[in-house]
Chains A and B, each alone.
Chain A
Amino acid sequence: MVVKIIQIILSPILALVVGVFFLGLARKIMARIHWRYGPPLIQPVIDMIRLFYQKSVSHGSMFDLGLILSLAGSIVVVLFLPLGGIAPLSGSGGLLVILYIMLLAPLGMALSGGQGANPNISIGISRKLILGLGYEVPLLLVLLAVMTRYKTISIIEVVNAQQSTGWLLFSFPLFLSGLSYFLILPAILGLRPFDMSSAPQEISSGPMVEYGGKYLALATIEHAFVLFISIALFVNLFLGGADNPAIFFVKMLVVFVLGLCINAVFPRFRIEQAVKYLWKWPTLLAFLGLIIALAIRS
């Protein structure tokens, strides 16, 4: 019981630290690819502390509550995810619950932004939701393939099964699904070339435009959590999870840097192009993976 409580307190903090570190690292790596020096690694932390003490504007109670709901949702997802042996609440409904609590984050952000009454926000949210529709199709096929292969809806069992069979990413039908997940990862994270919903030069960062001060700080934390969750899910499902948090985070780091380097060189998609892309190659791969997984099972 005590161990569990410590784990419950510890895992969101770990996620926060790793997520914020990733944010700083992303800026550094991007800068180096652009032949710039880039800000120091802890720049996001400095920014957040500063923002927290700055004045800000509010557009109403949903503007505040939506943001809090969104961040609360992300924190709860972390509690359900196994992080290298730490998994305090994963027995309460499995992958399906994770999938559905993950919806709280975009929904809360959208509700909060909605009350901002700014045209940039409306455009940003509209794009964000359409993009979600785009990557949800391959993502569901991927998750279903994994769940069908192991006849379970529990993420712990998927992780444990990989201890004996090896990483799913290198097992026969599911490498297709793993590849598909890797292809849609930047879309889930909102990284380039899928950053049309928060395009800074075009729609002034979209849903974030009315945020300042502590709102912006919380929104940054939220972004860090989303980064952490999507990559952690990939590591758990396809890279076999890990026995201890350290190895788990090393795996996450590799996936993140790899994804960043590949995607940093692409220009931004338009939203229609993004959806068309997502519904073409990743969906095809994921579909094949699911069909083969189903055929092998029966």
Chain B
Amino acid sequence: MSLEILLIFAFGGALLTYLLGKTSEKIRGFLAVVIALSLVVFIACLYGKSVEKTFYSGFLGLGLVLRLNMLSWFFAITIAVIGALSVIFSLSYIKGREKTDFYFLMMLLVNAAMLGIVLAGDLVSFYIFWEIMSWSAFLLISYNKGPAIAAGMKYIIMSIIGSLCFLVGMLSLYVTFDTLSISQIASAITSASPGYIVFILTAFGITFGIKNAVLPFHTWLPDAHSEAPAPFSAVLSGILIKMGTYGFLLLLYVIMGLKLFLGLGRGLLSFHSILCLLGAVTILIPTFIAMLQTDAKRLLAWSTVGQAGYIILGIAFGTNLALAGGIFHFFNHAMFKALLFLAVGAVEFRTRTRDLDSLGGLAKKMPVVFIATLVGICALIGVPLTSGFVSKWLIYKTLILEGSPFLAFFALAGTWGTILYSYKLIHNVFLGQLPEKYKDIQKSPFTMQLPMVILSLAILIFGILPGIPLKVINTIGTSFGFESLNITLWGIASETGTLNTINIFSAVLVAAVLLWLLFRLGAESVSVPQEDSYAAGAYTPADKYHYTAEFYNPLYRMIKPFLRDVIDEFYYWIASSVRSLAGSVRRIYSGDVGYYVMYIILFLAVLIFVQMRWKIW
């Protein structure tokens, strides 16, 4: 199975789904699922292979190269799995909406383009796939019309700025080294001057930073994530923004190489510590903003910004543990954030709202979605026995042992904030009182439950046996020139602190089972309806109050004044000043011929005056 056939299959499949899907809805859904699933199988078969081949050399004499190594394989399999699961979820989510053929085309196209990005072996093909991804994502974000169009606009404008930076960097590399193949640049760049390297890092860093929503380039993300259709939000948050992560890995470790990257600058002013600091700030501030949201998807979107900070911090810190933690967290985040977006999507599908202040009590109505959300938020917080814990543990450990307690503080302080907003999410949607209007709500359809169950199981399995993905990640790390980690199936063994998830798992399991038995031994408990609760002798009428509204009101009052999104306001200010400037420029072109004649005469008069006064010509 060669790489170009894989890509042709991915792109061709998308087109085929569109064309054949015109005939009937069943064929369309079936084809989309089959294509997405077969991509998973194909990529899984490529495990451990290492390929690099030129597939086209007619482009300005530059070879277009595809290549596969452990890094691209790991990203590719994540893309394929999350992509396939969200396509399955889409089947019932998108049913009965208009333009579903277009929707599936775009979903498959985004997947194919992302596969292209991670398989690209030169910057030109990288750029082509990158643009296909950006533009099809734009069309999907705007799918819902209304506010979604503005969100899509914001996304694509920032994305174009990123692409321009990429072009600048790419052209400059071509002029300097006369090649655009990634492996050739990597060997040539060691002789470049530090100033030039900083320029290249900045240009590409802006591109990847925008995609990865690193502060201060995060402003497109909350709008885009909350307005997109839920299955695409899962793809967007789970993997699309991680193309920025992939870009950073490519830039820092494949192109620059470890030594060059860490040796740039000194102390706090080095590129590496600035990037670490950006990562740390990206963890902390969005976490606080997320607590104040009342729209479930917007809350998750801000949380995505925060979690992406962990990934950047891990990658930028540049030790083998941190890198492993960063890449593992990318993988975990893809799983649990996709899971959470799908869960919120499933709730929205039934209740037609994502407003956290009006939902509640759905745990008994949608038990599967509830359990999936519970697993998702546990992984998001980093509760032990979910995979989210292991990746964060790796990052914290290395930050503390390498003497960066303040970075560790930023990362750790994000944790309790994460508890606050994720508890708000699960409490306001699934716990608390069930409003009258949702009394007869149905369970989610099977095609929605299946992806959520698969993702929840994966989170738990990789949390108890983190050695499975860590083995692959360790191979990536050693290929970057890091020392190999001592990975066991249930964690990491080392002299400076061992992690043993099996111990934790068995301890929690035994304790819980014993307590459950003790609990059963006690006197019977009677199950009562929700209205039958203690209210100091007064009867609380159902639907009179909604307890979940304004859940963190005291905190809200305290921190609201400090949490304006200044950066977003600044961008809007730039946009509006450009608009008013353009407006005043436009006034020159009044459309009246008389004015144009006057401009010409005035211009000539100025020229004549200049000539008579200074005699330049």
Contact = CB atoms under 8 A, between A and B. Distances in A.
Given A76-B508, A210-B533, A110 B405 contact: no
Contact of A101 (B408, B415, B504, B512): B504
Contacts of A97: 384, 393, 499, 504
Contacts of A107: 381, 383, 419, 423
A14 interface: no
A224 interface: no
Contacts, number: 227
Contacts of A32: none
Contact of A56 (B500, B525, B548): B525
Given A52-B522, A68-B515, A89-B507, A117 B533 contact: yes
A29 interface: no
A69 B385 CA distance: 13
Interface stretch (B9-17, B394-402, B607-615): B394-402
A153 B392 CA distance: 14
Interface in A114-143: 114-122, 125-127, 129-130, 132-133, 136-137, 140-141
Contacts of A290: 405-406, 409
Contacts of B433: 117
Given A89-B507, A204-B536, A69 B405 contact: no
Contact of A114 (B431, B496, B504, B508): B431
A68 to B, nearest CB: 5
Nearest to A68: B515
Interface stretch (A38-46, A58-66, A183-191, A259-267): A58-66
A122 B431 CA distance: 10
Contacts of A64: 519, 525
Given A100-B384, A119-B545, A204-B534, A129 B420 contact: yes
A140 B555 CA distance: 20
Nearest to A270: B554
Interface stretch (A166-174, A212-220, A242-250): A212-220
B333 to A, nearest CB: 17
B432 A117 contact: yes
A137 B363 contact: no
A73 interface: yes
A290 B404 CA distance: 11
B534 A210 contact: yes
Contacts of B511: 12, 71-72, 75-76
A76 B506 CA distance: 10
A92 B409 contact: no
A57 B528 contact: yes
A207 to B, nearest CB: 12
B45 interface: no
Contact of B426 (A111, A117, A153, A154): A111
Contacts of B415: 100, 103, 136
Nearest to A205: B534
B260 interface: no
A55 B525 CA distance: 6
Interface residues of A, number: 82
A59 B530 contact: yes
B498 A118 contact: no
Contacts of B508: 72-73, 76, 104
A103 B381 contact: yes
Interface string A168-212: 000000000000000000000000000000000000100001100
B396 A96 contact: yes
Contacts of B406: 290, 294
Contacts of A111: 374, 423, 426, 431
A148 B397 CA distance: 11
Interface in B494-520: 496-500, 503-504, 507-508, 511-512, 515-516, 519
A12 B518 CA distance: 15
Nearest to A271: B554
B382 interface: yes
A90 to B, nearest CB: 10
A147 interface: yes
Interface residues of B, number: 73
B500 A91 contact: yes
Given A118-B533, A140-B412, A294 B405 contact: yes
A107 B433 CA distance: 19
A53 interface: yes
Interface in B543-572: 545, 547-548, 551-555, 557-558
Contacts of A140: 409, 412-413
Contacts of B400: 144, 147-148, 153
B436 interface: no
A93 interface: yes
Contacts of B405: 144-145, 147-148, 290, 293-294
B248 interface: no
B527 A58 contact: yes
* B370, B393, B434, B547 interface centre (most CB from chain A within 10 Å): B547
Nearest to B364: A60
B199 interface: no
Contact of A214 (B416, B519, B557): B519
Nearest to A209: B534
A290 B384 CA distance: 27
A68 B554 contact: no
B524 interface: yes
Contacts of B555: 130, 133, 275
Contacts of B419: 103, 106-107, 129, 132
A223 to B, nearest CB: 15
A71 B416 contact: no
B523 interface: yes
Contacts of B499: 92-93, 97
Contact of A213 (B420, B491, B525): B525
Interface of B: 361, 363-364, 370, 374, 381-384, 389, 393, 396-397, 400-401, 403, 405-406, 408-409, 412-413, 415-417, 419-420, 423, 426-427, 431-434, 491, 496-500, 503-504, 507-508, 511-512, 515-516, 519, 522-528, 530, 532-536, 540, 545, 547-548, 551-555, 557-558
25 contacts: A57-B525, A57-B526, A57-B528, A64-B525, A68-B516, A72-B508, A75-B507, A79-B507, A89-B507, A100-B383, A100-B389, A110-B427, A111-B374, A111-B423, A114-B427, A122-B548, A125-B423, A129-B419, A130-B420, A132-B420, A136-B415, A151-B401, A213-B525, A276-B558, A290-B405
Task: Enumerate the 10 nearest inter-chain pairs by beta-carbon distance, A residue then B residue, closest first.
Answer: A114-B431, A214-B522, A92-B500, A72-B511, A122-B547, A136-B416, A117-B530, A72-B512, A144-B405, A92-B503
Given A100-B382, A117-B361, 7 more contacts: A62-B370, A103-B415, A104-B508, A111-B426, A114-B426, A118-B534, A136-B413
